[in-house]
């Protein structure tokens, strides 16, 4: 069953770089796993550790590594976040690391689709909102998925868009595969008239 | 489905023909999948999902597996890690259990998933093709709607042969004119990605049209469609024509004899109506494209070989240029190249290997350069060896390897060492994509070969007639 998501209030963690690709989020050599779990330790691995596996000093995630991820669950990233591969390992890694939402001015299609199936909410905001978030790392942000509202500090809430079915899955715990299997009679009917 | 009188695009026609349940405001549409390709990396969790629910692979006859990403390309088949080997054996087990055909180690069909399926005639015009791999758009070269999906969705397709999808927007990218001699499909592709921009295709399915696209052979069209995701697009498509039909004729999984002629007639109906409209239109004149190479760490950061690297416009671009160790306003053709890779689902087909061999024939790979040539499939390997390409590569000092994704994704042990500069015919130049700290230049097979000889990024026309004539 998918992870549920309704509301979240958390501090943000900011990675302002643009086009953070899926190979940065989870390097390909860690894709040999056959399970979904434990990838948080490998998230942004090549930003955090050098070739010998020693932690790299003064890299952006140092501060996150020492933060309490129960307090910091929202990643704010530069434009065109998670471009690249279809690997679902990317949202698995971010979720396992502790994130529950990602905010950017644009987020790759396949990543968004994958994230929504794993309890990680992708939120696209306008450039002005994005600039406010980038300017205030560690700021407090509220997310209300029911109302589709984002609240930065004490400012009035901002509406965000989310695909309605994915929203329902996250709030009500609707299972997309279960939903599809419920429609197998229609699928069989379609197949009878569908030549290869 | 709209009335047949309303003009539709190629994409609309394929989409409409696969809508089991149309989308509504509340729910995405249910889209039927004709062909589901699986490989070892993105499928284990999906098989585990359906097993946990007691579900079966609903249409094993529409599901095909191959081993490509984690597989070694050396003759000894020595895996990079026990996990890589376990991943391969997991797919072998899952396919056996569910009755899915697997082009495994003992199969002469095995290959990189997007090289193998077209060769076997599995990819057909007007169909929907999916795979847990973002380069699935490759199959759009045949006028199929083909796109990458995540592992959860792989489970959905295994169990139901369907996906929940909202319809993407429509973009047409027209390339008019004629490519100059010595300019390849990869050069065209890099020019197209640069024109759209890295995220510019987000939310779109792109139809590639125009004289320069029609003039491409099927392998060139596959190279182009393959990299649609590098502009952020869901898929790329080229309308089927006589070249498509000629490519498919006689292949194993297409209808044969009279049934083929009927199928071909049906396939050729998948074209955009003359008055159909697109949400976005872009245009490029192919006449002015020259051999291209990337200078940054995103695939859209491409310039003509020999041109100066542009001045960075942002911190991210500055960081990318610094990572590549290139200098703004200076050409990128002076840095020593250490590794050259010819292969991948972008450029691992026979015509690609021929293009590289034509440049290398009678010449030597420069000292200090390691060159790997990795055929995209067992069939490509056989065909290349039959015409002696392997001997051309080996005589030049390049390594002739076994088929696989190899150094494109660098998860099988074929890696570019830290800090080294690679000229690669693959599709991504992200930081560390080809190995931690690896610096990647994306280019065509001919450019890769020319760069291997010269030891620096080189316009291949230096070694062929074209530049002398120009």
Q: What's A28's DSSP letter?
A: G
Three-class secondary structure assignment of chain B: CCCCCCCCCHHHHHHHCCEEECCCCCCCEEEECCEEEEECCCCHHHHHHHHHCCCCCCCHHHEEEECCCCCCCCCCCCCCCHHHHHHHHHHHHHHHHHCCEEECCCCCCCECHHHHHHHCCCCCCCCEEEECCHHHHHHHHHCCEEEECCHHHHHHHHHHCEEEECCCEEEEEEEECCCCCCCCHHHHHHHHHHHHCCCCCCCEEEEEECHHHHCCCHHHHHHHHHHHHHHCCCEEECCCCHHHHHHHCCCCCCCCHHHHHHHHHHHCCCCCCCCCCCCEEEEEEHHHCCCEEECCCCCCCEEECCCECCCCCCHHHHHHHHHHCCCCCCECCCCECCEEEECHHHHCCHHHHHHHHHHHCCCCCCCCCEEEECCCEHHHHHHHHHCCHHHHHHHHCCEECCCCCHHHCCCCCCCCCCCCEEEECCCCCCCCCCCCCCEEEECCHHHHHHHHHHCECCCHHHHCHHHHHC
Q: Is the ipTM of this complex over 0.85?
A: yes
Considering only the beta carbons, identify the residue of A19, A106, A118 that sits closest to B298.
A19
Length of chain B: 470
> A 123-152 residues with CB below 8 A of B?
none
Q: Note the pLDDT tens digit of each residue in B346-371.
A: 999 999 999 999 999 999 999 999 99
| pLDDT for B470 | 44
Confidence bin at A62 (pLDDT 50/70/90):
confident
Helix axes B389-396, B378-386, angle to 10 degrees: 80
Mutation pick from A82, A109, A131 vs chain B, by most beta carbons of B within 10 Å, is A109
Sheet hosting strand B35-39, strand order edge to edge: B101-103, B63-66, B35-39, B128-131, B145-148
Assess if CATH 3.40.640.10 describes domain B169-240+272-287: no
| Intervals of chain B under pLDDT 50 | 470
What CATH topology corresponds to B291-469?
Aconitase; domain 3 (3.30.499)
Interchain proximity A23–B30, CB inside 8 Å:
no
Considering only the beta carbons, identify the residue of B86, B229, B411 that sits closest to A28.
B411
C-alpha span between B57 and B51 (Å, rounded): 9
Q: Note the pLDDT tens digit of each residue in B420-434.
A: 999 999 999 999 999
Q: Report the pLDDT averaged over residues A15-33.
A: 95
Interchain proximity A80–B199, CB inside 8 Å:
yes
C-alpha span between B413 and B397 (Å, rounded): 21
C-alpha span between A47 and A30 (Å, rounded): 14
Helix axes B185-196, B218-226, angle to 10 degrees: 30
Distance from CA of A112 to the nearest CA of B (A): 10
What CATH topology corresponds to B10-167+242-265?
Aconitase; domain 3 (3.30.499)
B37 close to B58: Cβ distance less than 8 angstroms: no
Does pTM surpass 0.80? yes
Interchain proximity B409–A113, CB inside 8 Å:
no
| pLDDT for A60 | 77
Instruction: With a cut of 90, say whether residue A58 has pLDDT above it.
Output: no
| E strand or H helix that includes residue A95 | helix A89-97
Q: How is residue B51 written in tokens?
A: 């097993």
Where do the structural domains in chain B lie, given as residue ranges? 10-167+242-265, 169-240+272-287, 291-469
Confidence bin at A1 (pLDDT 50/70/90):
low
> A 64-103 residues with CB below 8 A of B?
78-80, 83-88
| pLDDT for B420 | 98
B-chain CB neighbours of A196 within 8 Å are: 34, 124, 127
B204 close to B169: Cβ distance less than 8 angstroms: yes
Helix axes B350-360, B218-226, angle to 10 degrees: 100
| A:B CB pairs within 8 Å | 178
| E strand or H helix that includes residue A69 | none
A27 interfacial to chain B (CB closer than 8 Å): yes
Domains B10-167+242-265 and B291-469 share a fold: yes
Instruction: Supply the mean pLDDT for chain A.
Output: 93
Q: What's A8's DSSP letter?
A: E
Q: Note the pLDDT tens digit of each residue in B256-269.
A: 999 999 999 999 99
Share of chain A above pLDDT 70, in %: 98
Measured in degrees and rounded to the nearest 5, phi and psi for residue B103 equal -80, 85
C-alpha span between A9 and A154 (Å, rounded): 12
Q: What is the CATH number of domain A7-192?
A: 3.20.19.10
Q: Note the pLDDT tens digit of each residue in A116-127.
A: 999 999 999 999
C-alpha span between B55 and A23 (Å, rounded): 32
| pLDDT for B467 | 58
Mutation pick from B19, B70, B149, B164 vs chain A, by most beta carbons of A within 10 Å, is B164
From residue B152, alpha-carbon distances to B63, B139, B207 in Å are 16, 21, 27
Q: Note the pLDDT tens digit of each residue in B53-65.
A: 999 999 999 999 9
B13 close to A178: Cβ distance less than 8 angstroms: no
């Amino acid at each position: 069953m998918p992870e549920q998501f309704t509301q979240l209030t958390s501090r943000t963690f900011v990675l302002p770089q643009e086009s953070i690709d899926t190979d940065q989020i989870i390097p390909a050599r860690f894709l040999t796993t056959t399970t979904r779990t434990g990838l948080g330790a490998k998230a942004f691995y090549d930003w955090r550790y050098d070739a010998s596996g020693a932690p790299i000093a003064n890299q952006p995630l140092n501060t996150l590594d020492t933060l309490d991820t129960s307090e910091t669950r929202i990643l704010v990233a530069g434009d065109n976040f998670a471009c690249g591969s279809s690997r679902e390992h990317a949202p698995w890694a971010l979720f396992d690391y502790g994130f529950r939402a990602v905010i950017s001015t644009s987020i790759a299609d396949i990543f968004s689709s994958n994230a929504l199936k794993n309890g990680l909410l992708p939120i696209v905001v306008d450039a002005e909102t994005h600039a406010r978030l980038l300017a205030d790392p560690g700021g407090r942000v509220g997310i209300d998925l029911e109302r589709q509202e984002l609240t930065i500090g004490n400012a009035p809430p901002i509406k965000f868009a989310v695909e309605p079915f994915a929203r329902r899955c996250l709030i009500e715990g609707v299972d997309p595969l279960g939903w599809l299997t419920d429609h197998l009679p229609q699928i069989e009917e379609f197949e009878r008239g569908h030549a290869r | 489905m709209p009335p047949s009188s309303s003009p539709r695009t190629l994409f609309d026609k394929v989409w409409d023909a696969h809508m089991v349940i149309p989308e509504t405001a509340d729910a995405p549409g249910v889209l039927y999948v004709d062909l589901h390709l699986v490989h070892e990396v993105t499928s284990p969790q999906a098989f585990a999902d359906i097993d946990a629910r007691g579900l079966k692979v609903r249409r094993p006859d529409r599901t095909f597996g191959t081993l490509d990403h984690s597989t070694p390309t050396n003759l000894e088949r020595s895996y990079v890690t026990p996990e890589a080997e376990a991943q391969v054996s997991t797919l072998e087990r899952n396919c056996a259990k569910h009755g899915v055909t697997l082009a495994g180690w003992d199969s002469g069909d095995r290959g990189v998933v997007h090289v193998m399926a077209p060769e076997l005639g599995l990819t057909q015009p007007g169909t929907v093709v999916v795979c847990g791999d973002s380069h699935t758009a490759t199959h759009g070269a045949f006028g199929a709607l083909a796109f990458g999906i995540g592992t959860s969705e792989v489970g959905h397709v295994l169990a139901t042969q369907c996906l929940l999808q909202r319809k993407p927007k429509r973009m047409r990218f027209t390339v008019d004119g004629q490519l100059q001699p010595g300019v390849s499909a990869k050069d065209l592709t890099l020019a197209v990605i640069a024109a759209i921009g890295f995220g510019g295709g987000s939310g779109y399915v792109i139809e590639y049209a125009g004289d320069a696209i029609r003039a491409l052979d099927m392998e060139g069209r596959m190279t182009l469609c393959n990299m649609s995701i590098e502009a952020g697009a869901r898929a790329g498509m080229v309308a089927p024509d006589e070249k498509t039909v000629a490519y498919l004729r006689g292949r194993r999984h297409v209808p044969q004899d009279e049934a083929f002629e009927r199928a071909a007639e049906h396939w050729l109906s998948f074209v955009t109506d003359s008055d159909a409209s697109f949400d976005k239109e872009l245009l490029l004149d192919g006449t002015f494209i020259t051999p291209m190479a990337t200078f940054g760490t995103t695939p859209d950061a491409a310039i003509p070989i020999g041109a100066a690297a542009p001045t960075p416009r942002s911190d991210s671009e500055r960081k990318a240029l610094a990572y590549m160790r290139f200098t703004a306003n200076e050409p990128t053709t002076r840095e020593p190249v250490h590794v050259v890779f010819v292969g991948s689902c972008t450029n691992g087909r026979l015509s690609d290997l021929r293009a590289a061999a034509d440049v290398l024939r009678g010449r030597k790979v420069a000292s200090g350069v390691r060159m790997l040539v990795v055929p995209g499939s067992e069939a490509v390997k056989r065909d290349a060896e039959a015409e002696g390409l392997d001997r051309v590569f080996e005589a030049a000092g390049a390594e002739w390897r076994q088929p696989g994704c190899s150094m494109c994704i660098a998860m099988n042990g074929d890696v570019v060492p830290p800090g080294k500069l690679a000229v690669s015919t693959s599709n991504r130049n992200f930081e560390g994509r080809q190995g931690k700290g690896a610096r990647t230049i994306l280019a065509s097979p001919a450019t890769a070969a020319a760069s291997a000889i010269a030891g620096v990024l080189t316009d291949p026309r230096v070694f062929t007639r074209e530049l002398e004539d120009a």
